[in-house]
Amino acid sequence: MEYLKQTNYLFLKKGPATSWTWIVWGAFSALAWGPFYLWGVLVWTWGALITGIYHSKTLKEALIIGWMWGFGWHAASVFWIGESLWVDSLRFAWFWPFCVTGIPAVFSCYFGIMSGILWWGKRRFWSSPRAFGIMWCVLYSLMEYLKGVLFTGFPWNLTAYIWSQSLWIAQSASLLSSYGLGLITLGVLSWPGRFFLKCSTERSWWKGVIFMALGLAGVSSWSLFRLYNIPIYFHSKKGIRLVQPNIPQNEKQDSRKISINWNTLTRLSDEKGNIPITHVIWPETAVPFFVPSYALERVIPLAKTRKEPTHLIAGVLIHDKKQSLNSIIQVTSQGERKLVYSKQHLVPFGEYLPFRSYLSMVLPKKLLDALSPGERDVDQEKENDASVDVLDAPACIMKICYEIIFPFSNRDQRAKWILNLTNDGWFGYSPGPFQHLASAQFRAIETGLPVLRAANTGISAVFDGMGRTLAILPLKRQGYIDTLLPAPVPSYRNWHGYVYAGMLFLLTCCALRYSLKKDEN
């Protein structure tokens, strides 16, 4: 990387870069997401990445830069996944180093491939610096989309989520989708780096900062207009209670703690609130014992433990001979018990083993069961955005934990709200729960539907259809949220795919046009 010794590039001019340099740049980028939201760092780290790829002398060099940058970003963003292995440390602690390095290494391949395509295209299609910078935005966004859909997908920490605490910009996702807002964000925040790449002077970098500020103002103007012109409405005066028991993960299924955990849940459910409560909602796997599929009557109606008749919606593990189903049940105040939803999009290697049928040909069944119990495989995954009927309340879309991170269009118009039951107790006090919360908030913005989120150890929250936080219960806090059910707001969700595809097409045309102009000159 001899070019770095010669260039006056503002980001990297202090000395030659090594592989560790790119890992550090990527790691710093993680500060832009929860719980920090220091999105300004991306102006520098993205600028470094763009310049590094542009000045790469070989395809191999571009691939390495992209992969290393991506490794640093993923390692700093999702290291908290390894926290779950310490809950049962005797069985899984040995796997921790493989988890915190292996997962980033795999997902960084997307960045490496993106960088390789970008460098290759520079030699043939987008040779000018301006065209190169625009295509960096296009390919980065497309890479982000593919990472969210291929191999069951992992759309975690999408670019748009850096605006979770800046609703004056995040609101644009209602029109553009999370991927569309991410593409706009890439273009705006990389403006200083792209201008510097074109002119290689500090003055041009500051010119890019001015354009970046104007871009942010343009994106936020529509959002602010929408925020101030759509007030908060509620369906009725009937109240819903979201219970956050804050039960440590290693105590949730402890047979010696069943009665203690049950008493905690019922005590929080029975405390007197400021509004009449008709529905009590418990988080994912809150019922502190396994329930056989044929014995739902083991779940005691809250009417027997609560002073006022109340419907219960609760997360429970339904167990049968072949598998355990992470499910949601409804128990009416009259005692009727009904299984209403089972998780469809499972966590690979955590809740099922991908390609199990092929692995079973070479690995013993005991080993496969130790890695992940049950017989479910990747081809049994289902995308289920259909509405679920809730007694004495509007129909809703139910999402358990991991499922809420996937953008969806909600073509079922009966649904009036989204219910998200989760258990982030696996990950302790780490960035994970904050990042997970941002995904739930953006589902509200995208669909126009309010999101009610009940979490075991937090963060429980209520978002209206604009993504405004109406109530929140912090991490590691025991308590509950009493809320009225917000009404949905107008949404453009059915157009999101067309809008995003159109944005990619137009930017690609612009980049090619700039390259043609350079060739003509």
Domain around 367: 346-378
CB contact set of 125 (below 8 Å; sequence gap of 6+): 131, 135, 512, 515
3 state DSSP class of 458 = coil
Q: What is the pLDDT of residues 497-513, one digit of tens each?
A: 899 999 999 989 888 88
Assess whether pLDDT exceeds 80 at residue 468: yes
CB contact set of 440 (below 8 Å; sequence gap of 6+): 404, 420, 451, 453, 461, 463
> What is the arithmetic mean of pLDDT over 243-256?
85
If asked whether residues 339 and 260 sit together in one domain, one would say: yes
pLDDT in the model for residue 14: 42
If asked whether residues 244 and 199 sit together in one domain, one would say: no
Asked if residue 81 belongs to a domain, the reply is yes
In angstroms, the CA 198 to CA 462 distance is 45
**What's the whole-model pTM score?**
0.89
Indicate the average pLDDT of the chain.
83
Indicate the number of domains in the chain: 3
Q: Is 322 exposed, middle or buried (0-12, 13-18, 19+ CB in 10 A)?
A: exposed
**DSSP-derived pairing of the beta strands 417-422 and 234-244:** unpaired
Q: Is the peptide bond before 35 cis (omega within 30 degrees of 0)?
A: yes
Assess whether pLDDT exceeds 60 at residue 3: no
In angstroms, the CA 478 to CA 48 distance is 43
Question: Which position has the token pair 């963003």?
Answer: 77
If asked whether residues 51 and 169 sit together in one domain, one would say: yes
Give the pLDDT band (50/70/90) at residue 13. Answer: very low
In angstroms, the CA 301 to CA 299 distance is 6
Q: Is 391 exposed, middle or buried (0-12, 13-18, 19+ CB in 10 A)?
A: middle
Asked if residue 264 belongs to a domain, the reply is yes
Q: Which of 65-74, 316-325, 417-426 has the highest mean pLDDT?
A: 65-74
- Residue-wise burial string across 346-373, b where 16 or more C-beta atoms lie within 10 A, e elsewhere: bbbeebbbbebeeeeeeeeeeebeeebe
Assess whether pLDDT exceeds 60 at residue 91: yes
Q: What is the pLDDT of residues 94-118, one digit of tens each?
A: 778 888 888 899 999 999 999 999 9
Asked if residue 6 belongs to a domain, the reply is no
Give the pLDDT band (50/70/90) at residue 381. Answer: low
Radius of gyration of the chain (CA): 25
Assess whether pLDDT exceeds 90 at residue 344: no
Asked if residue 409 belongs to a domain, the reply is yes
In eight-state DSSP terms, residue 334 is T
If asked whether residues 60 and 190 sit together in one domain, one would say: yes
Q: Are 176 and 446 in contact (CB under 8 A)?
A: no
pLDDT in the model for residue 355: 61
Q: What is the pLDDT of residues 121-169, one digit of tens each?
A: 988 888 888 889 999 999 999 999 999 988 888 999 999 999 999 999 9
If asked whether residues 72 and 103 sit together in one domain, one would say: yes
If asked whether residues 310 and 178 sit together in one domain, one would say: no
In angstroms, the CA 326 to CA 191 distance is 45
CB contact set of 1 (below 8 Å; sequence gap of 6+): 16, 17, 55, 61
Q: Are 436 and 422 in contact (CB under 8 A)?
A: yes
Asked if residue 2 belongs to a domain, the reply is no
3 state DSSP class of 472 = strand
Q: CA-based angle 123:48:166, to the nearest 5?
A: 120
Q: What is the pLDDT of residues 65-76, one digit of tens each?
A: 999 999 999 999
Asked if residue 265 belongs to a domain, the reply is yes
If asked whether residues 392 and 460 sit together in one domain, one would say: yes
Asked if residue 104 belongs to a domain, the reply is yes
Asked if residue 1 belongs to a domain, the reply is no
Share above pLDDT 90 across residues of the chain, in percent, rounded to a whole number: 41
If asked whether residues 102 and 216 sit together in one domain, one would say: yes
For residue 305, what is the domain's CATH number? 3.60.110.10
In angstroms, the CA 306 to CA 267 distance is 8
Amino acid occupying residue 504: L
pLDDT in the model for residue 345: 78
Find, among 75, 76, 86, the residue nearest to 426 by Cα.
Answer: 86
